[in-house]
Amino acid sequence: MSKRSISIKRSNKRSNKRSNKRSTRKRSGLCKQRLSEKIAINMKEGYKSREQAIAVAYSQVGKMYPHCKRFLAKK
Average the pLDDT over each of 1-10, 22-31, 42-51, 56-65 and give the range with the smallest value. 1-10
Phi-psi bin for 3: left (phi > 0), alpha (psi -120 to 50), beta? alpha
> What are the extents of the domains in the chain?
3-72
CB atoms inside a 10 Å sphere around CB 68: 20
28, 40, 39: which is closest to 65 by C-alpha? 28
Query: According to the model, what pLDDT value does residue 38 have?
Result: 95
Best CA proximity match to 12, nearest among 20, 23, 22, 24: 20
Task: Say if pTM beats, i.e. exceeds, 0.85.
Answer: no
Confidence of residue 53 (pLDDT cuts 50, 70, 90): very high
Return phi, psi of residue 72, to 5°: -100, 0
- pLDDT grade for 17, boundaries at 50, 70 and 90: low
